[in-house]
Amino acid sequence: MSLLTRTHKIILWLIILISVLSLGILLYLDYRKGEVLSVTDSKTVTVTGDIPHIIAIQIKPESRIPPAGNDELPLEIEIRPPGSLIPVTAISATATSTGDASLGTISSVLLPPGTYDIAVKGLSHLRKVFPNQNFDGPVVRTYTLTLPQLPAGDANPTADNYVNSLDISYLTLKLYGNDLRADLTHDGTVNSLDYAALLRNLSTSGDN
């Protein structure tokens, strides 16, 4: 009888011990579950936005009569990586009488902040490349590209960026008219003054 009682006690204690251990395990698991649910996995999220460039340029075509307030000119502008001939973007614009032309808004995804060359080709004018212009982000910036002036003389519609006999022939064809390409001086009439402007740059090539 005593042995049976002792055995029962041992079994009872084992049951109690197992129950306590099980309860402890369950409580620990519940605690860990709550801990996992209560902790936010913090990660740094970088959102890349498009902060555009707002760009304008100011140019000066040569041989204008009168020389001041007479700089209106259709333009083809390329923005290129430094030293490259391949443009990141190309824009058509028209300079006002003061030589100002807006290139509008350009995406910073297309044109990340950095240094670029600006190539400017005017109607009947040779291309000039203005190197190492700093595009530094979301500001309204005007790039003054008035020196050197855009050389006059590439009047022929082939626009081959070279002043030669084709341009002389075109001026002759438009003589005494008001053709915009042939009127290099922009004084309203194609005449000897335009020939003089062309001959100053005869056999001259523009920048690539």
Over residues 169-187, the pLDDT tens digits come to: 999 999 999 999 999 999 9
CB 62, CB 182: distance < 8 Å: no
Average pLDDT, stretch 146-171? 98
Q: Tell me, what's the pLDDT at 95?
A: 98
3-state helix, strand, coil in the chain (%, to 5): 25, 30, 40
How confident is the model over 89-142, as pLDDT tens digits?
999 999 999 999 999 999 888 989 899 999 999 999 999 999 999 988 667 889
Helix count (H) and strand count (E) of the chain?
Answer: 3, 9
Query: pLDDT-based confidence at 25, cuts 50/70/90?
Result: confident
CA distance 142 to 81: 19
Q: Tell me, what's the pLDDT at 140?
A: 82
Q: Tell me, what's the pLDDT at 35?
A: 52
**Distance (Å) of CA 114 to CA 88, 110, 117, 133, 178:** 12, 12, 10, 8, 42
CB 50, CB 107: distance < 8 Å: yes
Q: Tell me, what's the pLDDT at 49?
A: 60
User: Which residue is associated with the tokens 């009488």?
Assistant: 97
Considering the chain, what percentage of its residues have pLDDT values greater than 70?
A: 82
| pTM passes above 0.85 | no
3-state secondary structure of 165: helix
Higher pLDDT, 44 or 81: 81
Average pLDDT, stretch 72-94? 97
